[in-house]
Amino acid sequence: MSMFRTAFLLLAMAALGAPWRDASAVQATAASSAAPVASSGAAAEMISRAEVSRIIGNTRRIVSPNGVDERIKLRIGGIDQWLSIRGRDRRNPILLFLHGGPAAVTMPASYTFQSPWEDFFTVVQWDQRGAGKTYAANTEQQMSPGMTIEGMTDDAAQVVQYLRQHYGKRKIFLLGHSWGTVLGTRLARQHPDWFHAYIGVGQVVNVRRNEEIGFAFALRAAKADHNPQAVRELEALMPYPGTVPMTLQRIGTRSKWETYYGGLTHGRKDFSYEADAEGLSPDYDQAGLDAIGKGSVYTLNHLLQPLLDVDLDDMTDFGCPVILFVGQHDYTTSHELAEQWFGRIHAPSKHMVLFADSAHMVMQEQPGRFLMHLVTDALPLAQKLGDAAPAEVTRGD
């Protein structure tokens, strides 16, 4: 279940002795300390987190006359849910990003990779039920009735309907990352006529089998590295996942060492870069940052056990095009399972891209190639329907 990254990697790891900082520590440090910035004089000037965030926000401000740059709160599924909607030409197709986790919001760190997408798409980041700013906007009692896979799929459907109606789009692109692929797969199969394509990134297929493969990778890597601590901690979990109840500690230990050996981000041993970026987010204030960890704990209390039963092996018939982006080093959601699943898919068209230098965080690990394939493989599906802004004009000498 370690595909559900923030809940385990950024909350459980401090208690498990993980070799990186937890999210709350990163956020507290970013909020309370100042960053040194060289001035014109010999001394360094100190600026606050708020000022850094303001600067980042100003650099990405959308000023094009037909652009859209909104942070809005909508009534979805009986609660208030937050969206960020950004693009430089509202005539472009809409791309709805379903974040991972569950409760691993993408909105606060999206500034690190999303801005170039906004030339070609109107990109929507949505803090799902129980996550981030949406968690902060509601009481836990208000959110609980819909805290199921079915309820959150219905939330996603309502978000799509709002976007189609408000922006006058017949279809949009649906991109799911990690846990977001659970919702995305279900929604794309239920309402194929709503979507230019379903785009799965870090595709979930079979959670129990995924756990077995990720655990085997981590143990194999630990033995090859002659790491007695990792081997000891992992072997203590065997058989894994087994038949004992799945706990945060068991999943966290597996996730810690799988991440340490590059199964989350290829070539990195930790996830601190994401937490650091969140701490400087221009889209989040401190209350929103504080809500990330709280929302993860709350969400796990509702979804931890049901997630072990997620099995999309037989969900292979789609009425809309399907595109998979697969990191070839991904053991957070097994690249092997995703590749096998893709081979069984039946759809009007299907396309898979393998990213040779990525694991699970493909959009951040190879951002240029990720965008290139969005533009070359996905965007033409909207252009066929005329749902795209006119191409730029190129003049010769």
Give 106: exposed, middle or buried? Use CB within 10 Å, 0-12, 13-18, 19+.
buried
The boundaries of the domain holding residue 184 are: 5-21+46-383
- Residue 108 placed within a domain: yes
pLDDT along the chain (397 residues), means of 10: 50 37 36 44 71 94 96 97 98 98 96 97 98 97 97 98 97 98 98 98 97 97 98 96 86 95 97 94 94 94 91 97 98 98 98 98 98 98 72 43
- Residue 28 placed within a domain: no
- Residue 193 placed within a domain: yes
- Residue 128 placed within a domain: yes
Predicted confidence at residue 56, as pLDDT, reads 95
The Cβ of residue 108 has, within 10 Å, a number of other Cβ atoms equal to: 26
CA–CA gap between residue 59 and residue 256 (Å, rounded):
35
CA–CA gap between residue 205 and residue 134 (Å, rounded):
27
- Residue 394 placed within a domain: no
> Is the four-CA dihedral 338, 340, 342, 345 of positive or negative sign?
negative
- Residue 208 placed within a domain: yes
Q: Across the chain, which distance is largest between two alpha carbons, in Å?
A: 71
Which CATH number is 108's domain given?
3.40.50.1820
- Residue 303 placed within a domain: yes
CA–CA gap between residue 366 and residue 377 (Å, rounded):
16
- Residue 26 placed within a domain: no
- Per the structure, the count of domains in the chain is 1
- The residue among 393, 396, 205 whose CA lies nearest residue 315 is 205
